[in-house]
Structure 1
Amino acid sequence: MNIRAQPIRTTCPYCGVGCGVLARPDGEGGLDISGDPDHPANRGRLCVKGAALAETLRPDGRLLTPRIHGRVADWDSALDMVARRFQETIAEHGPDSVGFYVSGQLLTEDYYVANKLMKGFIGSANIDTNSRLCMASSVAGHRRAFGSDTVPGLYEDFEEAELVVLVGSNLAWCHPVLYQRLAAAREKGLGPRVVVIDPRRTATCDLADLHLAIKPGGDAALFNLLLAENERRRACDGIFLPHVSGLQEALHAARATDPAMTGLEPEDLARFLEWWIDTEKVVTVYSQGINQSDSGTDKVNAILNCHLATGRIGRPGMGPFSVTGQPNAMGGREVGGLANMLACHLDIENKAHRDAVQYFWQAPAMAPGPGLKAVEMFRAVEEGRIKALWIICTNPAVTMPEADRVARAIEGCDFTVVSDMMEQTDTTRLAHVLLPATGWGEKDGTVTNSERRISRQRPSQPRRGEARDDWRILADVGRRMGWENAFGWNSAAEVYAEYAALSGVAGGLGSDFDISAHAGITSAEYDALEPFLWPQSSRKRGGRFFGDGRFHTPDGKARMVPVTARAPQPLCPAYPFRLNTGRVRDHWHTMTRTALSPRLSRHMAEPYLELHPQDAAELGLQPAELAEVDSPHGRAILRVLVTDRVARGHPFAPMHWTGETAPSGRIDALVPWLTDPLSGQPASKSAPVAIRPFAAGWFGFALAARAFRPDCAYWARASLPGGMQAELAGRAPPADWGEWAAAMFGLTSEPLTISDRARGMQRLGFVEQGRLAAALFVAPEPVALSRSHVAGLLGAEPGPGMLAGRAGADQPDEGATVCACFGVGVNTIARAIAEQGLVTVESVGAALQAGSNCGSCRPEIRALIERCLAGSGNPAKEPTVFDAGESLILSRDIPADDRKHASDHAN
């Protein structure tokens, strides 16, 4: 009898929602993935990235053994070298000559060991994290206002609120399960009004009762105006105000704010102020649109001021709420993974706190104060002040601002170690020593989500090659540096138990973070640990913070901070556009995981530039053409998406593409080293850029059954089922397309060729063992063909229409993917709308499943319904089918007569 394996309860490795996952071994070396219905964060829901986790467990590209100077090495040799080089560097240049750059994707146990090794034993605070890039301003704002980095509320507040304000947060794409929870509450008729504050019209606006298309940088002004209006209307909470200091100073600054700084129409501004002030249960959710600014901390405090002045904090359905971008950004904050923090929310600048941690660790050389934040750290690497660098679980040669400059700095460092699960990334290529680390499905430990809920990540797969857990690698080096006892753990459970015990010391010093109830946890109890909210101690268990008016400041009062709203730095004529950056729906960070899933690449398969129609017209750019984007720090080439979802002068580009997936799409190369003076967080939403057409002499689309790396000015590649595809462009065509394509694909067979020299078109198909092994389509303009249809021919026997690029009349073309959860294309949805008379998103979901899982595609489905119905008086009789392969994402805002330009470059 075949008995199905029991599911392993674990946690998703993507955003900070912290969804519970059931991973069930399928008996063939893979996993069946589903949402955990018992996990409080997601109650069984998963977004498309979480649902596709099993597809990302392929061994492709894994780093399987240690490497020294590119050559395979054994673990002892590699670890001995790391320990020796760090010891030598410290002995000659002091502890501040070394640095660790770590990641919000590490587990808490990994983070704890790294923090202990650097701050307590090496004796420097030069350990920072890529979380500095996404939520450091929130940390700084919390600490200024509350005296601690504490998120006051819980996810259930989203559903209990009467008004949810989403500011600088595209929740539908970046935190889809929270978006689902909010949408589900509204569908039941119990949910709140929703206001979205964002310069872009994002997918989240589909849920909004009011979209405030604020002027970029105008957030602090808006919340200052709200604070002043609360006072004018006598809406400040007289009962709560005795628990708050600084009200008058904050009001004085707020009253001086010019409403024109928001860029909002007076009636929209008035409506927002009225709704917020007249609604008791208000939750203000904010994310990277607030944090990633050179005044991000002030923006955070402008939001916190409004909640403190009105007492809307720490009670059901009300409070400010920072949603984090990474799975364990919160765990890193708790464990002191930032250069200016100490473990367990203790203060590295407080001698009593440092002494307590040093005594607990029995540490020889406690860091005397804050270390270098991320941008400062890589500047120190560039200048030669940091001479030994250890990068763990992150890819700063892509993700740091001025990424090209950072890559050069890493390359020039005397000694660089990189721990990663992938062999080829922009950063691993620069390392002297590579150490293979375990990844999701192999790791064992804990993570903390945005509502302070700690959950277990449990292994469900055997480790690949010689990969080791990050905490163990760090401990191995610590022991080799002479600290045997301090780093002598045998399991993640032992690391966690020590961390929990230290949190009890911190709790005794007044820290909010205290999980000392777990200080004596056994391995069996750790294995069985259920998700829980911190704190967990004899003093307090779970729940909200600050509703009782008690804060972690010296006088126990919250601090309101006077905020002077200021606009972004002015642009100069050479760089007249202000570039906004962010994420797409189905990819994650630098795609080392999500790029392995063909399904996740079908929605957006190449980097793009959202450009307002008037800007595009003035620049002479058509939809689906390529644009060259320059800043003083770097250059990118991006596919043009013409849309009024962005304001004039404020284009948008996603940040996921790398030297492995689209070398000219590395968007953070354009972002300057401009940071918030308090938090050190880079301003990633306002890079000054220039834009011009890329003078392409040809465009191409290629696909093959095995991986290939193009050689041309522009390329972007993505996974296919059983192969790979790439969008291509170059300035001058090669002398012989057949030779060029054969070299690219690594094939020796002669291609089948269709050539139209008059129109400059070439179509080549390579057949091996009677099957289509590769194909190349070339044209003088963006190649219009059905990419989904052509991809389906890969590996098939060649037929008469193999190079036609479109399905025959008897083969309906699905078109570009809209719903990645169920693989439903734009034309499939359009046909169903027309033939079945579907007029709601729910009816499309019932007929096709599209939009019925994670819900992130629902705004696109709704837009498609409107567009189909607008183009047909009677949709049931007159089907509207989009041009083969047309992408809804790229074309939904393009006039119908321009559709011919919008082939599915996102598919």
Structure 2
Amino acid sequence: MPQANRLARTTCPYCGVGCGVTATLENGQLIAVEGDREHPANYGRLCVKGTALHETLGEQGRLLKPRVDGEEVSWEQALTATAERLQAQRSAHGPQSVAAYLSGQLLTEDYYVANKLFKGFLGTPHLDTNSRLCMASAVAGYKRAFGADAVPCSYEDLEEAELVVLVGSNLAWNHPVLYQRLKVAKERNPLMRVVVIDPRVTDTCEIADLYLGIRPGSDAYLFNGLLAWMADHQRLDSVYLERHTEGLDDALSTARHNADSVEVVARECDVDAERLETFYYWFASQLHVVTLYSQGVNQSSSGTDKCNAIINCHLAGGKIGLPGAGPFSITGQPNAMGGREVGGLANQLAAHMDYHTPGARELVSRFWTTQHLTPALPDAPGYKAVELFDAIERGEITALWVMATNPAVSMPDGEKVRRALAKCPLVIVSECVANTDLLPFADIVLPASGWSEKDGTVTNSERRISRQRGMLPPPGEAKHDWWILCEVAKRLGVGEAFDYTHPWEIFDEHARLSGYENSGDTQRLFNISGLAGLGQAAYDALAPIQWPVTQQASRGTARLFEDGRFATANGRAKLLPITPRPPEQPLSDDYPLRLNTGRVRDQWHTMTRTARAPRLMNHRAEPFIELHPDDAAQAGLTDQGLAKLTAAAGEYCGRVRVSNAQRQGEVFVPMHWTDCFTKQGRSGALIKGYTDPLSGQPEAKQGAVAVSKLPIAWQATLLLANELDMQTSPWRRSDYWARIPMASCTRWQLADSQPVADWLAQVEAWCGVSASLWCDDPATGRLRAAGVVKGRLRWWLMVGPPDELPGLAWLEARFNDATLETPHRRRLLAGCDDGAVDTGPVVCSCHQVGKASIVKAIHSGDTSVEALGARLACGTQCGSCLPELKAILEEERPHARAKQTANTEVA
């Protein structure tokens, strides 16, 4: 009997916005998602990635059984092997030979158990997380200034501000729900101003009143200059500074030394001096200022200093602890903050305590009752991410457990990391996906639960704890990460400390530790003791809430430092003297272009989840290299051609995108592609392992590369039935390939420098199915062919550049035809039905609306976003494509007006 639909509330697993999600379940299947209208992070909004969450589920491509040494085994065998091999390495080489590398994709409960096991009971400090790659400098900056890793703001502050400054943040693509909130707030308050500071002209600039396209890495000059300007124009808040801060004199003296005038700063930042001074005047003149900063600031060898340069200006102007004011670091991952709460960084203990916090080590030991253990809780920090893999390569660390992340792709100096993984005697991987770049290095593979199955909590960028609820059972034999860790702990002989039976018990212990011997003084600001003792029912029903949560603040705390007291020994915030430093990866004759890396709108991390939703692959289907037109011309490159980037660390191949949004002499590549989806498309292969000396965060934004044309004799597009999509396909030996999942088939973009003598023979060798239909033009080297078996389309090939492709929706649907009808069969080589119109590259992923359709509608008179939405539905759902729609409108309106004028004159 069919079951009635039921609704479940959970949290999105993508970025740090932490959007609430309402999921619809029918007969044990999750069939639809929408934004939770009651969740205070998003109030019903969801980006295109969030709206496609239900499309990423299912057993296909999931890890379903444990593996040891490449063989499927029972859980008992896998857990026993894990415990015995960990203990063997620990006994042979000492506790510090064991390490763990975790992820902001884990839930807080998973993180807590991992930290407790490795630091508390295995006695190793070497537990770090991929949050090191995105948030570590922001954390270090907050701790230096405020005494704690404490984001002072709430999302409401974006709506209450008079000025919002976006630094190194493409909010429109990377945190689109916050972008939409800010956009609406600006429409409601015409006096609000938005400043975007970024080397690239991004979609976020669509709402900017002022754009400063600074030289990459020059942020500290800009904010030092702002501090000096505020002092010179009597715009410092002397009362606030005197009562609540220290360090102004040193900070100001240093700022004046290297940024003593607007002209000097403008030269260092390579921006117009008048526009720079306009920004300085706006910032200094408004009290309610929010500076929102992200990876463009953090991912630098001087990222911590840049964060403190920003914070200095807020403290100097008293622009903190007020509605609509504060330095606001926006998190990249859904639970980067939750991981930090429980000690998920190598320089932390637990509950936001550090090794250098007086008495913290002893406090945690008493709470965990580990004082009697040998070795006891470590007394010094462990290796941070880059150091960790260096230690593995040296042979110092001989056992590594990786959970829910892919360092074989995401780490800088990628080839060096892979060498270290190959050398490591024991690599254990907890993963939910069956095919990642990391798994070939694993000795033990443990199938883990994923989103919609995991049950626990996450903390978003505004310190809001939300429940991510398990709605479906894990597929196959997959298990929750906390359960796996507890079972290994039992086999290591410490099971009494890990006898949890439900995530609420773990959360309860975490909450109790946060309040343990915490007298309420601000030096231990993280405190959720008000959530201790909930019990399972109250935990299951937990509503989103911002920490601190105590008896005195039982409903949470929206904004920190309202009383001007900080988490330092004397209660004062610190202004830091900041000396700007250039990137560690210098430009040279061999590598003359400055490399920038980052996210794209519809993808997430290494695409293990988003690539399971085919419509998310349509906006940016291949790895790309974005260049200024002059740089492209100098290298002999054209838009949509293929090119190669070369760096000291490695190489990268992608499709060229020529764009005026790039500064000359600079290049942008996306961070998402892996060896599972392309050949030489890993951005980490281009980045050297230089790190910030304080935070340990790698310098991923300021690489040095050279660009050249990829020499090729041909390009081709191959659509292949999914059952023929073998990972060992021979076309992977081509000079360039990209695998693009589609709903009913897989698309391969191919190119090579060696000519093909007989294409039909070649494709038969590739696919194992001979050609049924073909037509070719030897003069141009063009060919189209298709393989049909028993009335079913098995493959379709076009030899030629991809800009000659028809829209692929019709062709893709043919792979589902049980028997190809004669008219369809005749149209196969054309790739489209009679009278079909090519809709062009996808702009709106929610409704799959292409650029050609949008341009046609504009020329027909739909010359506003609203009119386009009414006709085509583009931009009416998540809103992520609105900046791109407006850019197309700006480009096409003159042509539309000219066409209308011509039609009027003819009439």
Fold-level similarity (TM above 0.5):
yes
Match of 1:682? 698
Shift of 1:523: 0.7
The Cα offsets for residues 85-108 of structure 1, whole Å up to 9 and x where unpaired, read as: 111111121111011000000000
Match of 1:31? 31
1:737 pairs with 2:762: no
Corresponding residue to 2:592 among 572, 576, 580: 576
1:756 pairs with 2:771: no
Match of 1:884? none
Letter matched to residue 77 of structure 2: S
Match of 1:411? 422
Distance of aligned partners of 1:75 and 1:275 in 2 relative to their CA distance in 1, 3 Å threshold: same
In terms of mean alpha carbon deviation, does 607-616 or 538-547 score higher? 538-547
Match of 1:272? 279
Matches within 5 A, 1:584-599: 584-599=600-615
Match of 2:853? 828
Distance of aligned partners of 1:698 and 1:781 in 2 relative to their CA distance in 1, 3 Å threshold: farther
Whole-Å separation in 2 of the counterparts to 1:407 and 1:838: 52
Does the aligned pair in 1 maintain the 2:769–2:787 contact within 8 Å? no
Shift of 1:839: 1.8
1:91 pairs with 2:85: no
Distance of aligned partners of 1:191 and 1:484 in 2 relative to their CA distance in 1, 3 Å threshold: farther
1:720 pairs with 2:742: yes
Matches within 5 A, 1:278-297: 278-297=285-304
1:813 pairs with 2:838: yes
Shift of 1:402: 1.0
Distance of aligned partners of 1:877 and 1:851 in 2 relative to their CA distance in 1, 3 Å threshold: farther
The Cα offsets for residues 468-490 of structure 1, whole Å up to 9 and x where unpaired, read as: 10011111111111101101111
Match of 1:157? 157
Match of 2:863? 839
Shift of 1:792: 4.1
In terms of mean alpha carbon deviation, does 790-799 or 333-342 score higher? 790-799
Match of 1:534? 547
Match of 2:451? 440
Whole-Å separation in 1 of the counterparts to 2:899 and 2:322: 49
Whole-Å separation in 2 of the counterparts to 1:262 and 1:201: 15
Match of 2:345? 338
1:869 pairs with 2:870: no
Shift of 1:280: 1.4
Unaligned runs of 5+ in 1: 880-907
Corresponding residue to 1:635 among 651, 654, 677: 651
In terms of mean alpha carbon deviation, does 94-103 or 843-852 score higher? 843-852
Distance of aligned partners of 1:780 and 1:515 in 2 relative to their CA distance in 1, 3 Å threshold: closer
Does the aligned pair in 2 maintain the 1:215–1:263 contact within 8 Å? yes
1:318 pairs with 2:342: no
Match of 1:368? 379
Q: SS where residue 297 of structure 1 aligns?
A: helix
Q: SS where residue 30 of structure 1 aligns?
A: strand
Match of 1:883? none
1:427 pairs with 2:448: no
Whole-Å separation in 2 of the counterparts to 1:10 and 1:762: 50
Shift of 1:788: 4.1
The Cα offsets for residues 561-592 of structure 1, whole Å up to 9 and x where unpaired, read as: 00012232431111111110000000000000
Q: SS where residue 165 of structure 1 aligns?
A: strand
Corresponding residue to 2:713 among 697, 715, 738: 697
Letter matched to residue 348 of structure 1: Y
Match of 2:830? 804
Shift of 1:506: 6.0
Match of 1:243? 244
Shift of 1:306: 0.3
Letter matched to residue 175 of structure 1: H
Match of 2:795? 774
Does the aligned pair in 1 maintain the 2:245–2:574 contact within 8 Å? yes
Whole-Å separation in 2 of the counterparts to 1:178 and 1:803: 45
Match of 1:889? none
Match of 1:624? 640
Q: SS where residue 297 of structure 2 aligns?
A: helix
The Cα offsets for residues 415-469 of structure 1, whole Å up to 9 and x where unpaired, read as: 1000000111100111000000000000000000000000001112221100010
The Cα offsets for residues 801-821 of structure 1, whole Å up to 9 and x where unpaired, read as: 21124554x222222111111
Corresponding residue to 1:601 among 617, 620, 627: 617
Q: SS where residue 704 of structure 1 aligns?
A: strand
Match of 1:661? 677
Shift of 1:3: 7.3
The Cα offsets for residues 378-407 of structure 1, whole Å up to 9 and x where unpaired, read as: 001111100000000000000000112111
Match of 2:192? 192
Letter matched to residue 774 of structure 1: W
Shift of 1:81: 1.0
Does the aligned pair in 1 maintain the 2:777–2:783 contact within 8 Å? yes
Matches within 5 A, 1:154-233: 154-189=154-189, 192-233=192-233
Q: SS where residue 606 of structure 1 aligns?
A: coil
Shift of 1:304: 0.2
Whole-Å separation in 2 of the counterparts to 1:466 and 1:793: 35
Corresponding residue to 2:665 among 637, 649, 656: 649
Distance of aligned partners of 1:782 and 1:851 in 2 relative to their CA distance in 1, 3 Å threshold: closer
Match of 1:517? 530
Distance of aligned partners of 1:875 and 1:44 in 2 relative to their CA distance in 1, 3 Å threshold: farther
Match of 1:464? 475
Whole-Å separation in 2 of the counterparts to 1:274 and 1:842: 35
Matches within 5 A, 1:6-85: 6-27=6-27, 29-85=29-85
Shift of 1:657: 0.4
Does the aligned pair in 1 maintain the 2:23–2:30 contact within 8 Å? no
Distance of aligned partners of 1:456 and 1:77 in 2 relative to their CA distance in 1, 3 Å threshold: same
Structure 1 length-normalised TM: 0.94
Whole-Å separation in 1 of the counterparts to 2:752 and 2:26: 44
* Identical-residue share of aligned pairs (%): 49
Does the aligned pair in 1 maintain the 2:594–2:703 contact within 8 Å? yes
Q: SS where residue 79 of structure 1 aligns?
A: helix
Letter matched to residue 532 of structure 2: A
Letter matched to residue 411 of structure 2: M
Structure 2 length-normalised TM: 0.94
Shift of 1:60: 2.0
Match of 1:252? 253
Letter matched to residue 883 of structure 2: P
Corresponding residue to 1:611 among 604, 627, 636: 627
In terms of mean alpha carbon deviation, does 1-10 or 683-692 score higher? 1-10
Q: SS where residue 825 of structure 2 aligns?
A: coil
Q: SS where residue 827 of structure 2 aligns?
A: coil
Whole-Å separation in 2 of the counterparts to 1:781 and 1:107: 41
Does the aligned pair in 2 maintain the 1:625–1:782 contact within 8 Å? no
1:544 pairs with 2:565: no
Letter matched to residue 646 of structure 1: Q
Letter matched to residue 668 of structure 1: G
Whole-Å separation in 1 of the counterparts to 2:795 and 2:531: 57
Shift of 1:186: 1.7
Corresponding residue to 1:566 among 558, 566, 581: 581
Whole-Å separation in 1 of the counterparts to 2:203 and 2:179: 10
Letter matched to residue 274 of structure 2: E
Distance of aligned partners of 1:334 and 1:191 in 2 relative to their CA distance in 1, 3 Å threshold: farther
In terms of mean alpha carbon deviation, does 546-555 or 149-158 score higher? 546-555
Letter matched to residue 543 of structure 2: E
Q: SS where residue 632 of structure 1 aligns?
A: coil
Q: SS where residue 774 of structure 1 aligns?
A: strand
Match of 1:898? none
Root-mean-square deviation (Å): 1.7
Match of 1:852? 876
Match of 1:299? 306
